[in-house]
Amino acid sequence: MEEKEKSKILKISFSISIIGILLIFFLINLKPEISEIEEVLDEKRIDGRVRISGDIISGRELAEDFYLITIKDKTGQIDVTLNKNISKSKVEVIGTVNKYEGRIQIQAEKITKI
């Protein structure tokens, strides 16, 4: 294979790799559509990534650096586990739906005061 062809293949491979890395970065940071809490409480949503917003109505520390808050919107309420304390306010949560001791909850990835 000629040096010109090797150089061309190398450039194409490099370009495809950069495009792939950018695509992965974009997909990781993609926010899910906002859902009402009532929709999130469906068992079919378990292990899915969701985004909700609502008011924190209660919160407590379960262990060192592990907190449980309850968030309420007009359709219902849900528990959210997170690794930092946050005061009562209106928040937006992105996280993964799971089930613990028979109750559906969200493990927060990101929580933002709104």
pLDDT tens readout for residues 37-51: 999 999 999 999 999
Q: CA 62, 67, 100, 72 torsion: positive or negative?
A: positive
CA dihedral 43→84→58→73, nearest 10 degrees, is -50
Where does 37-113 sit in CATH, by number? Answer: 2.40.50.140
pLDDT tens column, 56-89: 999 999 898 899 999 999 999 999 999 988 888 8
Entry pTM: 0.75
- Residue 31 main-chain phi, psi, to 5 deg: -85, 135
Structural domain boundaries in the chain: 1-30, 37-113
Percent of the chain predicted with pLDDT > 90? 73
Decide: residue 91, CB within 10 A, 0-12 exposed, 13-18 middle, 19+ buried: buried
Return the pLDDT at 43.
93
Helices (H) and strands (E) in the chain, counts: 2, 5
